């Protein structure tokens, strides 16, 4: 982690929002930042050149998926994930924990780690903090996440206590694995369910170990949005302000604005990419489903206020035709637009923070969507 | 067809091969040329910018598919197919005949045209020469093909005679529909099955009507390759040498070389795009299936002699991983490579014709593949 650092450039005066820069061995990341998700070593048909054109500064890759296929040893043999997928900017890898814990009956948790069966071929595996680190290091991740348990919601307090303590012990095991002088940064993940005192305890446990950045985990797991915002509002200030703060798996455009307002620097979510594949598009005025018959002869672009490649060149009618015809170009173009929307949103947020107009930006954002706030 | 013309630049001395230029209202096309197939208004996930980077000068769109979905009236309302799909170079449209006649029991041929049921929703339609012209004109096609019957092989002589004569009458009806001064060129299609005298008769019937270009139809329909080559060898010289000559639906890289040697200027085929979607790739050394286990940790590009975007940036191992993972990037990258291969092949042929070295080029082509010739 020799080259990893976070510089706080500007603190908003009205909110907890902050503008910063993360420096890594593979370049700088201007924050707040949204990270597109490239689960299996690709972001839904987008070429790396398109991702850069869109403004993606860093992408997220899934340890669980790449471990099962094609395997981290193979990726390492091929020169690491960056070379394998032709992406030379930073990559953050999750720990695999979230996917394993989503398997339900197919996994079993012990102090050692999580035993699970592969969804691909039924083969049996044991994911431990040490293996998760080995995988992420083999992939060549720039930002490694500790292996932890994402606690479901709701959960009993006893379960949350035990799980959070175990995750802290796992976090320490992860820290112990990372070689001194590694170019990879290691982030701790705060758990504690929706219990304030346990969140505080988790944040303290992690800071005692010491990490290059800190994330809030266990959010966006089915809880009310207001509860998620409360957890951010309480949880983010518990983290050191000279380190990047990341809320995992969040979220909608609204969630990003509210997360930033509460002091979050980094986000990731499958929403723009998954929605794109289902024909759901993000616009200045809210979401739209390109499948709808009303767009059959609509020659407007997806979002008349958007200046992305797709909105400059294609009509809603064409995108609907591509979608209805099952053409893969539908996914390519829809993903391009949605990710551009997310990147532009973050660029707008960063600009407003530099200019000291974030609260105004936030108000305008809701006004255009006719949303109360 | 005010702006349509063909200029013969150079005639090979050892073969019938020729180097020429087709001029259209949307720009020039250097021949011999291969036209990628964009059935439904897209070439398998490739952006128009990528198609141009690959060197595509003209693409083919399918009248039958676009008529059924999204409908030619809609495309016309959206400003024509070029604007709809964001492609400003020439487009050739087929007549819809081939697809209709492929429907077998679902269609019935009369003097008026071909009645058929839609594969999409079972709705009933009647495709006539006049409707085919209306559709192609509504799409804004640069090169319109006459509505004809593609005769299956084998077929009885009596059937071939009747069908070929009817196709000639249909060709005349198509010619009568095209407005004088249209920017669209109209091509006649020689039928006659595998019967030499009927091919000659068909070629004469069409020239009597007069077209801006001529195609050989009814080839690549299951006949032996040697018979197809014989039909080209006999059929192409029957066509006027001051007009482009097009062999429809052909073919493999070998077919293109042999078609050029026999005097063909234009080709189209779904082979590079369809094969790409199935993981089959064209290389200097022959075809390869990226699915194969032998490529699992192969860090070479698809074709070490290829300098396309895919071969410059991705390994066989990555492409295999994309394919096995069901990622649409597999189709995008495979299609890019295969079409580049085809375009490079044609560019090499054109260069060799300019330099008077076509026969040498042909020999080298087979030598690299270890193919007898």
**Model pLDDT, residue B327:** 97
Alpha carbon B369 to its chain's center: 24
Residue A51 contacts residue A273 (beta carbons within 8 Å):
no
Q: Which residues of chain B have pLDDT under 50?
A: 1, 373
Q: Do B324 and A296 touch (CB under 8 A)?
A: no
**Model pLDDT, residue B372:** 56
Catalytic residue among A12, A265, A268, A303: A268
> Is A94 one of the catalytic residues?
yes
What span, in angstroms and rounded, lies between the C-alpha atoms of B174 and B4? Answer: 18
- Provide the edge-to-edge strand list for the sheet that holds A33-35: A33-35, A266-268, A245-247, A213-216, A185-190, A143-145, A91-93, A59-61
Can you give the pTM of this predicted structure? 0.97
**Residue A5 CB: number of other CB atoms within 10 A?**
16
Q: Do A327 and B79 touch (CB under 8 A)?
A: no
Lowest mean pLDDT segment, chosen from A207-216, A310-319, A364-373, B131-140:
A364-373
Q: Which sequence spans correspond to the domains of chain A?
A: 5-31+62-269, 279-338
Confidence band, pLDDT 50/70/90 cuts, at residue A366:
very high
What span, in angstroms and rounded, lies between the C-alpha atoms of A373 and A15? Answer: 15
A121 touches chain B (CB under 8 A): no
Nearest to A44 among B42, B299, B328 (CB): B328
Residue A335 contacts residue A49 (beta carbons within 8 Å):
no
Confidence band, pLDDT 50/70/90 cuts, at residue A103:
confident
CATH architecture assignment, domain A5-31+62-269: Alpha-Beta Barrel (3.20)
Q: Do B86 and A313 touch (CB under 8 A)?
A: yes
Catalytic residue among B12, B94, B142, B303: B94
Query: Per-residue b/e over B136-156, b at no fewer than 16 CB within 10 Å?
Result: bbbbbbbbbbbbbbbbbbeee
| B-proximal residues of A, 223-252, CB under 8 Å | none
**Model pLDDT, residue A371:** 60
Tokens of A273: 């990419």
Tokens of A210: 């010491």
Cross-strand partners of B267: B34, B247
Residue the block writes with tokens 């092989």: B153
**Residue A214 CB: number of other CB atoms within 10 A?**
23
Confidence band, pLDDT 50/70/90 cuts, at residue A115:
very high
With beta carbons under 8 A apart, name residues in chain B contacting A85: 318
**Model pLDDT, residue B2:** 60
Phi, psi (rounded to 5 degrees) for B290: -70, -15
Q: Output Rg (C-alpha) for chain B, integer angstroms.
A: 20
**Model pLDDT, residue A373:** 47
What span, in angstroms and rounded, lies between the C-alpha atoms of B243 and B246? Answer: 10
Residue the block writes with tokens 């070593």: A41
Instruction: Give pLDDT tens digits for A90-101.
Output: 999 999 989 988
Instruction: Give pLDDT tens digits for A119-175.
Output: 889 999 999 999 999 999 999 999 999 999 999 999 999 999 999 999 999 999 999
ipTM of the complex: 0.96
With beta carbons under 8 A apart, name residues in chain B contacting A329: 42, 44-47
A79 → chain B, closest CA residue: B299
Q: What is the share, in percent, of chain A residues with pLDDT greater than 70?
A: 99
Q: Do A299 and B79 touch (CB under 8 A)?
A: yes
A87 touches chain B (CB under 8 A): no
- Enumerate the H helices of chain A as residue ranges: 48-54, 63-68, 72-77, 81-85, 97-101, 129-139, 157-177, 196-209, 225-235, 253-261, 271-277, 309-313, 316-324, 328-355, 358-368
What span, in angstroms and rounded, lies between the C-alpha atoms of B172 and B190? Answer: 13
With beta carbons under 8 A apart, name residues in chain A contacting B79: 299
Query: B4: Cβ–Cβ under 8 A, 6 or more apart, which residues?
Result: B22, B23, B24, B25, B143, B183, B185, B212
Q: Which of B139, B328, B330, B334 to mutate to test the interface with A (most CBs of A within 10 A)?
A: B328
B102 touches chain A (CB under 8 A): no
Residue the block writes with tokens 């173009």: A333
Nearest to A328 among B78, B84, B331 (CB): B331
Which helix (H) or strand (E) covers residue A187, if one does? Answer: strand A185-190
- Enumerate the H helices of B156-217 as residue ranges: 157-177, 196-209
Q: Which of A37, A46, A47 to mutate to test the interface with B (most CBs of B within 10 A)?
A: A47
Instruction: Give pLDDT tens digits for A249-298.
Output: 999 999 999 999 999 999 999 999 999 999 999 999 999 999 999 999 99
A331 touches chain B (CB under 8 A): yes
Let me know if domain B5-269 sits in CATH 3.20.20.105: yes
How far does the CA of residue A310 sit from the closest CA of chain B (Å)?
Answer: 10
Tell me the count of A-B CB pairs closer than 8 A.
105
What span, in angstroms and rounded, lies between the C-alpha atoms of B147 and B98? Answer: 9
Q: Do A297 and B327 touch (CB under 8 A)?
A: no
**Model pLDDT, residue A1:** 46
Mean pLDDT of chain A: 96
A42 → chain B, closest CA residue: B329
Nearest to A328 among B317, B325, B328 (CB): B328
Q: Do A70 and B332 touch (CB under 8 A)?
A: no
**Residue B277 CB: number of other CB atoms within 10 A?**
18
B85 touches chain A (CB under 8 A): yes
Which helix (H) or strand (E) covers residue B137, if one does? Answer: helix B129-139
What span, in angstroms and rounded, lies between the C-alpha atoms of A337 and A273? Answer: 10
Q: In this structure, is the dihedral angle defined by the CA atoms of residues A161, A163, A169 and A172, taken in order, positive or negative?
A: negative
| B-proximal residues of A, 31-70, CB under 8 Å | 40-42, 44-47, 69-70
């Amino acid at each position: 982690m020799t080259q990893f650092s976070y510089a706080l450039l500007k603190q908003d005066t009205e909110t907890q929002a902050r503008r910063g820069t993360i420096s890594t061995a593979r370049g700088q990341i201007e924050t707040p930042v949204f990270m597109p998700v490239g689960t299996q070593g690709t972001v839904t048909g987008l070429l790396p050149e398109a991702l850069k054109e869109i403004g993606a500064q860093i992408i997220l890759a899934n340890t669980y998926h790449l471990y099962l296929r094609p395997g981290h040893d193979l990726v390492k043999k091929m020169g690491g994930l960056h070379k394998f997928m032709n992406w030379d900017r930073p990559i953050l890898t999750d720990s695999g924990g979230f996917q394993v814990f989503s398997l339900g009956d197919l996994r079993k948790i012990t102090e050692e780690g999580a035993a699970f069966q592969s969804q691909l071929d039924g083969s049996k595996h044991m994911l431990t903090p040490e293996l998760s680190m080995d995988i992420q290091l083999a992939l060549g991740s720039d930002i490694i996440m500790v292996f932890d348990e994402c606690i479901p919601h709701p959960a009993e307090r006893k379960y949350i206590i035990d799980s959070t303590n175990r995750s802290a012990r796992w976090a320490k095991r992860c820290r112990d694995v990372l070689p001194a002088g590694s170019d990879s940064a290691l982030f701790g993940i705060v758990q504690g369910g929706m219990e304030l005192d346990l969140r505080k305890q988790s944040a303290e446990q992690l800071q005692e170990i010491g990490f290059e950045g800190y994330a809030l985990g266990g959010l966006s797991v089915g809880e009310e949005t207001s509860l998620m915002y409360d957890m951010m509002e309480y949880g983010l200030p518990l983290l050191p302000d000279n380190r990047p703060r990341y809320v995992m798996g969040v979220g909608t455009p609204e969630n990003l604005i509210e997360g930033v307002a509460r002091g979050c620097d980094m986000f990731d979510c499958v929403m723009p990419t998954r929605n794109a594949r289902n024909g759901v598009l993000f616009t200045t005025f809210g979401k739209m489903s390109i499948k709808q018959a009303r767009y059959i002869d609509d020659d407007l672009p997806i979002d008349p206020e958007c200046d992305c490649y797709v909105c400059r060149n294609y009509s809603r009618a064409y995108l609907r035709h591509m979608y209805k015809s099952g053409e893969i170009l539908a996914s390519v173009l829809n993903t391009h637009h949605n990710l551009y929307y997310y990147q532009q949103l973050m660029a707008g947020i960063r600009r407003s923070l530099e200019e000291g107009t974030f609260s105004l930006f936030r108000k305008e954002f809701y006004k255009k969507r006719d949303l109360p706030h």
